[in-house]
Amino acid sequence: MVSENIRRSRRRVVVTGFGAVTPVGLTFDATWEAFLAGRSGVAEISTFDTSDLPTSIAGQVKDFDPTVHMPRTIARRMDSYAQYAMAAAVQAQQMAKLEIDEDDADRVGVLIGSGYGAVNSIDGFSVTIRQKGPRAISPYAPITGAIDSAAGEISMALGAQGPSRAISSACATGTDALGEAARWIQFGVADAVVVGGADNCVTRVDLAGSGNARALSRRVDAPQEASRPFDEDRDGFVMSAGAGVLVLEEAERAQERGATILAEVLGYGCSSDAYHWTAPQPEGRGAKRAMRAALTDAGIEPDQVDHVNAHGTSTKLNDASEVASLREVLGERVTQIPVCSIKSMTGHMIGAAGAVEAITAVQTIRTGIVPPTINCHRPLADDINFVPHEPQQHDVRVVMSNSFGFGGHNAVVVLGAWDG
């Protein structure tokens, strides 16, 4: 945790742009529209055989054309997860009106996380070398198959010459990326960062593994009802694909160039359970440490939190643990504010989840609209407003966004309205 004297002297960080590619939309505007309509992106998998897999449903990105956002020659050497990241980054840059020139290129960083990385390309390379031999493997294979390929491609495309790297912490990746990028700016390493997360792990291997771990929903007869966070009848999460990217800037820099400031990154906290690969620590110790650290980092008291964009995966253990942890950290406040999970509509985008959820939190602050948790028919806690089925209007100035990942990774960001 950052010490109090350092916290008070560091630079302020603001959001000036964002973009997304999700199972419910190819931009964040389209995604937000789907959220307000309570529309699920979960469906039967159509791109490969699922007859022998534990489940046959996922949240896939549909009708995506990478050449809308990048030249065909570049798209051809990129894994789909990196294509999604590039598309979201281009959207974010355009929204922020971020122009990078020779004078400030070395002050603009890129940090793009992924939980699984280029798994589709790696699988394809393995098939190719077995069937056709080494000479059939592209010289770009080591680049395409690397987890930093999205960050590298984006930095080259935008001309960002500051720090550029990947980060990976399973389902907490997108939130960790946002928090770490904010620290780059707070402590003067960079003045702006293009940051987010991306994944496309809807593969036979990943569905088989997660399914065999009994983590995935098997509600294949009703795909759009499968992801049901905080519902008593939940039976697992839905594997999904997507990307979310934000432009973060040092506040004075953003003001000087006349950027529209959308929200402020107030605080970030992270921790590790050091307990189990797939199950949360039973008492939620790590999750609670991360939430408390984020609030302390933000200088925010629990009774100042207006909304929680929850991790809410739709698994038995995670949802119950998150609710118990929220009760302990926020006290009575958790029964007075809306707590939602957009995974009810997107499914779990793994490394992209936290980034898209942070963008959603920013949009909630801007509009006062909290998106719903669909499929929440029998809430596991009657005294908590999980925003069931329909969006709600609330006065939201501070949002806590949670991400808790396999391996015990916990990451939390606190976002707030910009007060100037």
Tokens at 67, concatenated = 């050449």
Do the Cβ atoms of 192 and 372 come closer than 8 Å? no
- In this prediction the pTM is 0.96
Let me know if 360 is exposed, middle or buried by CB neighbors in 10 A (0-12, 13-18, 19+): buried
201 as an active site residue: the answer is no
Residues of the chain with pLDDT under 70: 1-5, 7-8
Distant-in-sequence, close-in-space partners of 229: CB < 8 Å, separation ≥ 6: 310, 312, 313, 314, 319, 341, 343, 344, 373, 375, 376, 386
* Catalytic residue chosen out of the listed positions 171, 270, 340, 376: 171
Phi, psi angle pair for 192, to nearest 5°: -150, 150
Tokens at 128, concatenated = 């190719």
The confidence score (pLDDT) of residue 165 equals 97
**Structural domains of the chain in order of their starting residue, each with its CATH number:** 11-257 (3.40.47.10), 267-416 (3.40.47.10)
Kind and range of the H or E run holding 338: none
DSSP string covering 220-237 = TTSGGGS--TTBTT---B
The confidence score (pLDDT) of residue 25 equals 98
The confidence score (pLDDT) of residue 3 equals 60
How far apart (Å, rounded) are the C-alpha atoms in residues 40 and 42?
6
